[in-house]
Structure 1
Amino acid sequence: MRKLGLGLLLGVASLAFAQTAVNPLCSMIQALASNWGIITWLVVGILGVMILAVGIFNLAAGKAAHTLVVVVGGAVLLVATYRLMNAAGGELNKFSTSCQSVQIEVVKPVAKVE
């Protein structure tokens, strides 16, 4: 599941993040890793607003039991999403670090002097 989420984020992220480097994919991954905290809070915030809106609509409709289910289930879902995003951020940081080390180790061949 983590690989699917990371694949979706890499697919959605634009190559506009990529710099003119050896590997533009590494630049995009480094940009995602540096902005992962904002991405995490955006996802959790949007999900929290959705849960809150559904709870309010159910409460306004007079369905208190549905509101309780939405609020409790939504809280569990928010905590699980936050923990999943933090775990994915850790993996993304590891991948970004390994990508940087691979870029540093690239050596261009030098012409021989005869």
Structure 2
Amino acid sequence: MGKFVLGLLLGVASLAFAQTTGGVNPLCAMIQALAANWGVIMWLVVGILAVMVMAVGIVNLTAGKAAYALVVVVGGAVILVATHRLMSAAKTELDNFARTCTAQIEIVQPIAKVEGWKKRT
């Protein structure tokens, strides 16, 4: 299910930003658009995770399970820091890839082989 959602988001991003970046290759346009908007995407992901951790912690506190709430908050904080660091590292790699995208991704067109073919006269 996660791969489906990721593919759907990437497809929407490629369609939404393919015309605005001016590139011929839609895959490069999508990568450049993701690199340009990666900061917003990163803070949305981290923000959603933070809201989830706080909500679960509050639910455990109101249920009278302070130990579970502490575990959720500490574990959630570790996951939030790890997610932020991973996405920050991914931003540098995505920026590098966006700069050299057109050189690395080419649309290969089939060319007929003419070796060994002799023209009959």
Common fold: TM-score over 0.5: yes
Offset, 1:26? 0.6
Higher helix fraction (1 or 2): 1
Aligned residue in 2 for 1:18: 18
Alpha-carbon spacing, 1:79–1:42, altered in 2? closer, same or farther (3 Å): same
Contact between 1:10 and 1:29, CA under 8 Å: does it hold in 2? no
TM-score by length of 2: 0.72
Deviation at residue 11 of structure 1 after TM alignment: 5.2
Counting aligned pairs with the same residue, the percent is: 67
**Unaligned 5+ residue runs, structure 1?**
104-114
Higher gyration radius (CA) = 2
* Pairwise CA RMSD: 2.0
Could you tell me which runs of 5 or more consecutive residues in structure 2 were left unpaired when the two chains were aligned: 105-121
Match of 1:69 in 2: 71
Within-5 A mapping of 1:43-82: 43-82=45-84
Secondary structure in 2 matching 1:81:
helix
Which stretches of structure 1, 4 residues or more, deviate above 3 A after TM superposition? 8-11
